Every structure is written in C-alpha cells, then in structure tokens.
Amino acid sequence: MDRKGSEFAGLSVAIVTPIRDGQIDYETLRAQVDFQVAAGTTCICPVGTTGESPTLSHEEHERVIAEVVQHAAGRIRVMAGTGSNSTAEAIRLTTWAERAGADAALLVAPYYNKPTQEGFYQHYLRISESVRFPLCIYNIPGRTGKNVEPDTICRLGELENVTMVKEATGSLDQASQVLVGSRLTVLSGDDSLTLPLMSIGGQGVISVVGNIVPQDMIQMVRCFQSGDVEAACRWHHKLFLLCRDMLGLATNPIPIKAAMKLLGRDTGELRLPMTALDQAGEARLRTTLQNYGLL
C-alpha cells in the first residue's frame, strides 16, 4: 500500500533542549542539528516530550523551532512539536511552525483533560484545517491519560494532511488496526519496539536513543528495509539495553540528558519538576554506556 507520510520513514530523532544555567543553550542546540545531519538522520523533532516542551515558555518554544529550522537549512527535515491540551493553543503553535518553515508537526494527544473520541477527532480536525503541511498524531496514553482509539486514528487518517502516527501505546494490536484501517505511516514511539513494529508494517521510529547513537538506529532500520532480518535483529539486541535505560531508569528525558552529559555533549541540566538521575541510576547508565562501547 502507498502510505501517506512515507517521506518521513526511517529515523527521526526527538532532540533534547540543551539548558545551561536555566537558559536554553542555542549554540549546543545547533550542534545537535549538525550531529544528526552528519549521521544521515531523516528528521529531527524539536520541542517534543524529550525537548521538555511542558516547561518551555511560548516564546522559547517558538524560538527553538525557529533556530532548528534555520540551522537545518533544508539539510534535514524538521517535525516540530506543537501539541497542547488546548485546541486553540495547538492551532497557534502549529500555524506558527508552518510559517517558520517546519516540514511537519508532531501533535501529542490532548493530555489531562481526557476528551472523548469525538473530542480527539475534532481537536485534530480543527488543527488540520488551519495548516497545509503534514501532521503526525502522537498517541502516548501513558502520558496523556487516555488512548486515541484505532478507529479514531483511522478516521483522522482520511484527512488529507494527517499523514502519520507516532505509536507509543506499546500495543502491536493497536498499531496493526491502524495499519489495516488507514494509509497512515506508523512510526514507533518506543525505541525498543521499533523492529517489532516494522515487522508488521511500521516504517521507522521517532527516537530518544537516536540522540546518542543515530547511526546504529539507522543501520537497524535499513537492514530490515533491505530484507536482512537477521542483521536487523542483531542491531536490535545490541541496542536493547541502551534503549531500556533511556525509558526505564527514570522519566524521559532524564536518562538521555544524563547520557549526553556523560558523553560530553550536554550539561545534563533539566527544568523542574524534572530532576537529575540519582547516583544509582547514573552508575547503571554509565555501565550500560561502557558495555555499549560509548565510554
């Protein structure tokens, strides 16, 4: 099946927002863009969950998108995080990102207020009517408190510019229902489930661990795409413990920021209520990075 959004197949990386002394470090942010361009990453996703969007001001949110788009300069696609639990705010952010030159928008399902399925549909419908560029539904009920059901996602997939879904329910059955019932490109929202999801028709991942090992994630995806399932499984097994730590040691983005600090690529600083990884977690993460060959 010819799927909408297939130009975003492969590796997208949900990049962190570097912070130094409480302020966004735009120089390091630009270095992150260059790092992903050099790796051959398909797309970068600024100001998503990994980018600490809940604690950025509206002005900071917009400036991060602008800085990333301008520095990317067409060398890599940019899918800006523009979701909100307020439809009006999501429309404002999404239209702003389109005007700023982003290639697509990543829209987390409305969180906390737990809309009905019709509410989810109307939320995304109103956003889609406000812009022309591609939209990616981000379904992560573990964070938002409610699942966007497969029938709702398939219904949204009938809208021209809703082209992708970031699938983070952990359910291959849900992903299968979306793949069977729509032409949407399905991207994994969990690094460790990328290969299983691709085995049923997914086309890639919006990754956290790709902040530090993008080329390895690319290799896994490409091996599977080329039909070398055995090699893809080897990459999956190599990556698994690292992927596990990124989500298992503490809430994202705490572990990935700790890893980037240990690797000398970021200060590791977070904004409250996020706090640094504890000593036991950092010791375990250090061991994982050493065993992987990164330290």
Which is catalytic among the residues 4, 146, 166, 257?
166
Residue 261 annotated among the catalytic residues of the structure: no
Give CA separation, 63 vs 97, 100, 213, in Å.
10, 10, 26
SS (H, E, C) 237-272: HHHHHHHHHHHHCCCCCHHHHHHHHHCCCCCCCCCC
Cβ–Cβ < 8 Å for 263, 275: no
Closest CA to 124 of 148, 99, 101: 148
DSSP letter (8 states) at residue 40: T
Residue 166 annotated among the catalytic residues of the structure: yes
Which is catalytic among the residues 124, 138, 146, 257?
138
* Residue 160 neighbours by CB distance under 10 Å: 10
Q: Which residues are catalytic?
A: 138, 166
